[in-house]
């Protein structure tokens, strides 16, 4: 199975500052079609996960452009610039390249 390792597992950020979350894959997530199948989700307290970034760097519809995704074949970063109070929750990376689909352990973002 593909293992996704997120770091840090928790982060405390002052509103208005930036935050970065890392996700490292045990295997390349670059498909033969040239698509990197790494996704980022945010799960706000008591809510379902919501898609932020798809295919490593594409912003999902309705997601503020404060969020951005980048990376290579195995190392990925979610950056949140100018963190706002509504960004609090747990961030998960996920791979949909091969079965079984897998998720990272999650990174909890809190405000200082």
Partner 1 sequence: EVQILETGGGLVKPGGSLRLSCATSGFNFNDYFMNWVRQAPGKGLEWVAQIRNKNYNYATYYAESLEGRVTISRDDSKSSVYLQVSSLRAEDTAIYYCTRTLYWGQGVMVTVSS
Query: Across-strand partners of 13?
Result: 111
Q: State the distance between the two ends of the chain, measured CA to CA, in whole angstroms.
A: 36
Q: Which of 21, 89, 106, 109 binds partner 1 (CB under 8 A)?
A: 106
User: Residue holding tokens 């045990």?
Assistant: 26
Whole-number minimum distance, CB 76 to partner 1, in Å? 17
For residues 78 and 99, give the distance between their C-alpha atoms in angstroms, rounded to a whole number.
23
80 binding partner 1? (CB under 8 A): no
User: Between 39 and 78, how does the x/- string for binding to partner 1 read (CB under 8 A)?
Assistant: x-x-x----xxxx--x-----x------------------
101 binding partner 1? (CB under 8 A): yes
- Longest CA–CA span in the chain (Å) reads 43
């Amino acid at each position: 199975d593909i293992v996704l390792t997120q770091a840090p597992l928790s982060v405390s950020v002052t509103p208005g500052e930036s935050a970065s979350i890392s996700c490292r894959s045990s295997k390349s997530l670059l498909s033969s079609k040239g698509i990197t199948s790494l996704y980022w989700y945010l799960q706000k307290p008591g809510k379902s996960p919501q898609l932020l970034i798809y295919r490593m760097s594409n912003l999902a519809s309705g997601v503020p452009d404060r969020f951005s995704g980048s990376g290579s074949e195995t190392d990925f970063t979610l950056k949140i610039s100018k963190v706002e109070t509504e960004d609090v929750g747990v961030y998960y990376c996920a791979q949909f390249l091969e079965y079984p689909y897998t998720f990272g352990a999650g990174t909890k973002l809190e405000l200082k």
